Structure 1
Amino acid sequence: MTPSARLAAAIEVLADIAARRRPVADALKDWGLAHRFAGSGDRAAIASLVYDALRRRASAAWIMGEDTPRAVLIGTLRLQRGLAGQTIAGLFTGERFAPAPLTQAERTRLDTATLADAPPHIAGDVPEWVLPSLVRILGDDLLPELKALARRAPLDIRVNTLKADRERVREGLAHLDPAPTPHAPHGLRVPVPDDGRGPALHVEPEFLEGLFEIQDEGSQLAALLSGARPGEMVIDLCAGGGGKTLALAAMMENRGRLVATDGDPRRLAPIHERLRRAGAAAEVRTPRGSRAAPEVLADLQGQADLVLVDAPCTGSGTWRRNPDAKWRLRPGSLATRRSDQAAVLDRAARLLKPGGRLVYVTCSLLPEENDEAVGGILTRQPGLTIRPPTLAPTLEAALRRTAHGVQLTPARTGTDGFYVSTVTLGQ
């Protein structure tokens, strides 16, 4: 496919997303099935265009003066891809498979429109209703942080220290030119080309041998801040696919007892193969049956040294990876998540032994899901107290300390927006 044909395809996918209010992955999959002539390179390029357009949807629409799929993509080419108006016009020719030529109004907007007078939610590309919450946590850094949240995320991996060290994996992936992550001691950052098509890490021999996992540096740091130690009794209460379970196993050096579970058994499906590949020791407990079924951790209440709660949340800290999610988020969804978070925190507290630690993690920037959630458990469980983490000086200088925890953000730490808080029982 020509570059112009890819643009036309991206407009088609964006129109499908807008009309049917569906996740971007579903729309891209359906487009690919209906256009089997498109090669893998074409599909990747189209996906990159669509994701970029969703990242910059509000600001691109402002630049172009309308919120149509075509206008958003044209504005994105200028804002996100840095293309000049003349270059964009050369792609919109109306020739075979190319989008219709630019109108005079579109040319004028490309040449003259700016974001100088755009309100913060437009310049920052976020839903207007979440802006007050973001102002509370980001303060004067609001626009720099929102602009960072609208850029592409880096591609990070975590070296599995059960099998290798960072230098060994770096040498094995030398053809990809990885560099050490700024803060995570076992992380590597792999460059991604301008077209957004990253390397197929899952076919690298080092991945197949379990020497590394794909994991954002922020997620790596969140696991490290749990302070899991060899010999401890550790429970990963919202384990999902097992990313942080694997990190915990490495921190524990496969010594002690590590139990992983999740309220949704479907999310646990990948964990077994990932544990096997990594050589990580963990006991997976899968809930079965109805809500009335016996609690799968009933025998472990009051025994845990550490309970990690990687809580279900809005995912606002990952919007640079999942830009469609921010436009589908509604206030009712936030209220549901807050209820879920309170329930899982109460469940976690019952598992702690005296002196045990509850580490609460979200990939969210919203205080309602972070400090307010921790404040709620402190009120409901008077025996719990905050335990501020000890941080490396470089990380201390980069992140934000909040009332009850720490906040990682794209502009300051270069990571997804992770929140971490630690409370202890009785000490």
Structure 2
Amino acid sequence: MTPSARLQAAIELLDEIIVAARDNGASADNLIKKFFKARRYAGSKDRRAVRELVYAVIRRFGERPQNGRAAMAGLAEEQPELQELFDGTTYGPAALTENEARTDGGSLPTWLESRFATPIDAPEREALLNRASLDVRLNPRAGSAADIVNFWPEAEKLPLPGAFRLESGTNVDASDPGRKGLVEIQDMGSQAIVAACLPTRPKLMLDMCAGAGGKTLGLAAQLPDDTRIIASDTDRGRLSRIEPRLRRSGNQNVETILLSPKFEMEALAALEGQCDLVLIDAPCSGTGTWRRNPELRWRMTPERLSRTTELQARLLEIASDIVKPGGRLVYAVCSLLDEEGGDQTDRFLEKQPNWRIIEVDLPIGRSYRKGILLSPYQDGTDGFYFTCLEKL
């Protein structure tokens, strides 16, 4: 592919990504894979160049562009070398005209700027779009920290037990430690949430929004074998991904429950008043994961955020019925917006006076709004808010 053809391919991909973001469709990564599956003629250098162009646009503009051409024209205003590729050749984009639309604006959605937690200032927000690190978690059932260092001598030891940072691009899944279940890829922020759950030694615990089971596996690796751990989620596809990971990890004490949206309590009724610990890693705006998924800025709208916060509040109510007296609830969001973090905690405690805040002692994070705030700038993690509550 010529440089102009690569630019045109990026524009076409951006058109698909913009529509998918608007309509809550497939992710950018999946659309890129599908795009090149239908274009076998594109070599590895072509695919890499097109992908870099696409993500340069996604990271640059916080507001969802009108279309791919306007977005790329906007990027070309700041990168003059791109303007020359609008050359009107057979496979390239038509020449730019003086009055055609060009995307502009900052890297943050304007409507979200006033909603961030107070400590998230300008440097913090800039860091939200930096490249993410590659963190792994040790599975102590499969080996020791020394085994990780022996295989990856360059591994950086992180402040949490069993947490390491590897060089970006390391193929963990294809490595011996990955295949043998010695390590799992997991951001240090997610590992901190697991650590916040561990001061208790529950006999019965529920990971209510388990997804593919990253935190479930983290807990299972450190809790006794006689702990009954239940992982539940409303997404069958995501929940099914925990099974091969469980087999690889060697854990035998995890079971799964598929929930129906809006009817979660029907499937969880047998657990009412029984759980020593419930973890809610709630669906959220994902503002704390923009460095991994920058297109989320194009997907979230005020209406979607409102629906998301309503869901979070409902999940907290369900959890309050499932936790037994003396049990604990850990509520977490990979968001740095107050309405998903501290505001949710305040509203819950106002409605549920039979709960109290539990202080969490961790080597990372800062106290904020009855919980802990983690951020890329301050902690080198994804952005999280979480709080630990005890039922009286």
Q: TM-score range by the shorter chain?
A: 0.7 to 0.9
CA spacing shift, 1:14–1:282, aligned 2, 3 Å: same
Deviations 1:357-379 (A, max 9, x none): 10001101111011111112212
CA distance in 2, matches of 1:290, 1:323: 27
- How far did residue 297 of structure 1 move? 2.8
Does the aligned pair in 2 maintain the 1:308–1:359 contact within 8 Å?
Answer: yes
Give distance in 1, aligned partners of 2:96 and 2:263.
61
Structure 2 counterpart of 1:268, which letter? L
Residue type of the partner of 2:76? I
Question: Which residue identity lines up with residue 137 of structure 1 in the other structure?
Answer: T
Cα-to-partner distance string for 1:49-84 (whole Å, 9 max, x where unaligned): 32232111259x9xxxx98232244367x5xxxxxx
Structure 1 residues 290 and 305: CA distance shift in structure 2, 3 A: closer
**Kindly tell me: are residues 281 and 37 of structure 1, through their superposed partners in 2, closer, same or farther at Cα, counting changes over 3 Å?**
same
Q: 1:161-206 CA distances to partner (integer Å, 9 max, x unpaired)? A: 22122331232234xx43223x3332222223xxxxx243222222
Out of 160, 163, 180, the residue aligned to residue 157 of structure 2 is 180
Question: For 1:229-268, what per-residue CA distance to the aligned partner results, in whole angstroms no more than 9, with x for missing partners?
Answer: 5563221111111000000111214342212112333431
What is the aligned partner in structure 2 of residue 152 from structure 1? Answer: 131
Q: Does 1:128 align with 2:128?
A: no
Decide whether aligned partners of structure 1 residues 185 and 52 sit closer, same or farther in structure 2, where only a CA change above 3 A counts: farther
Secondary structure in 2 matching 1:355: strand
Runs of 5+ consecutive residues of structure 1 not aligned to the other structure: 79-84, 110-117, 193-197
Alignment partner for residue 191 of structure 1, among 167, 176, 179? 167
8 Å CA contact 1:229, 1:251 repeated in 2: no
* Residue identity matched to 1:409: S
Matches for 1:347-426 after TM superposition, within 5 Å? 347-392=318-363, 395=364, 399-426=365-392
State the Cα deviation string for residues 106-125 of structure 1 (Å, max 9, x = none).
Answer: xxx9xxxxxxxx9xxx44x1
Q: Distance in 1 between matches of 2:264 and 2:184?
A: 34
Relative distance call for 1:13 and 1:264 in structure 2 (3 A) is: closer
Contact 1:265 1:286 in 2 (8 A): no
Question: Match of 1:415, SS?
Answer: coil
Contact conserved, 1:8 with 1:97, CA < 8 A, in 2? yes
What is the SS of the residue equivalent to 2:131? Answer: coil
Quick check: 2:134–2:187 contact (8 Å CA) kept in 1?
Answer: yes
1:261 corresponds to: 232
SS of the residue 2:284 aligns to: coil
Q: Is the 8 A contact 2:148 2:177 kept in 1?
A: yes
2-side partners of 1:199 and 1:385: how far apart? Answer: 42
CA drift at 1:326: 0.9
Higher relative contact order, chain-length normalized (CA < 8 Å, sep 6+): 2
TM-score where L is the length of structure 2: 0.86
SS at match of 1:213: strand
**Higher mean C-alpha deviation, range 5-14 or range 214-223:** 5-14
Question: How far did 1:17 drift?
Answer: 2.6
CA separation of 1:357 and 1:260: change in aligned 2, threshold 3 A: same
Are the structure 2 counterparts of residues 311 and 100 from structure 1 closer, same or farther at C-alpha, using a change threshold of 3 Å?
same
Q: 2:58 matched to 1:54? A: yes
Question: d(CA) in 1 for partners of 2:49 and 2:145?
Answer: 31
Length-normalised TM-score, structure 1: 0.79
Secondary structure at 1:309 match in 2: strand
Correspondence for 1:17: 17
Q: Deviations over 1:99-139 (max 9, x none)?
A: 6789999xxx9xxxxxxxx9xxx44x1111111111x433x
Residues 291 and 11 (structure 1 numbering): CA distance in 2 closer, same or farther, change over 3 Å?
closer
- Write the mapping of 1:64-103 to structure 2, written as runs, cut at 5 A: 68-74=70-76
The 3 A distance-change label for structure 1 pair 199 and 3 is: farther
For the 8 Å contact 2:233–2:259, the answer to whether it is kept is no
Contact 1:10 1:49 in 2 (8 A): yes
Structure 1 residues 401 and 291: alpha-carbon distance in aligned structure 2, compared to 1, 3 A threshold: closer
8 Å CA contact 1:260–1:285 kept in 2: the answer is: yes
Q: CA 1:180–1:18 in structure 2 vs 1: closer, same or farther (change >3 Å)?
A: same
SS in 1 for 2:132: coil
- Cα separation, 1, equivalents of 2:349 and 2:224: 32
Q: Could you tell me how far 1:3 is from its partner in structure 2?
A: 5.9
Root mean square deviation, CA, Å: 3.2
Q: Distance in 2 between matches of 1:173 and 1:8?
A: 40
Matching residue of 1:137: 118
Mapped partners of 1:320, 1:94: distance in 2: 34
Contact conserved, 1:164 with 1:211, CA < 8 A, in 2? yes
SS for the counterpart of 2:308 is: helix
The structure-2 alpha-carbon separation of the partners of 1:384 and 1:178, relative to structure 1 and needing over 3 Å to count, comes to: same
Q: How far apart, in 1, do the equivalents of 2:304 and 2:292 lie?
A: 19
Could you say if the C-alpha distance between residues 323 and 75 of structure 1 is closer, same or farther in structure 2, counting changes exceeding 3 Å?
farther
After the TM superposition, which residues 157-306 of structure 1 pair with which residues of structure 2 at under 5 Å, given as runs?
157-174=136-153, 177-181=154-158, 183-192=159-168, 198-227=169-198, 229-230=200-201, 232-287=203-258, 295-306=266-277
In 1, distance between residues paired with 2:146 and 2:46?
Answer: 34
Q: Which amino acid aligns with 2:161?
A: P
Letter in 2 for 1:171: N
Q: How does 1:319-330 map to 2 (within 5 A)?
A: 319-330=290-301
Q: Is the 8 A contact 1:235 1:308 kept in 2?
A: yes
Q: Is the 8 A contact 2:234 2:259 kept in 1?
A: no
The CA deviation at 1:91 is: 7.0
Q: Which amino acid aligns with 1:320?
A: R
Partners of 2:19 and 2:347 lie apart in 1 by: 39
User: Distance in 1 between the 2:331 and 2:301 partners?
Assistant: 23
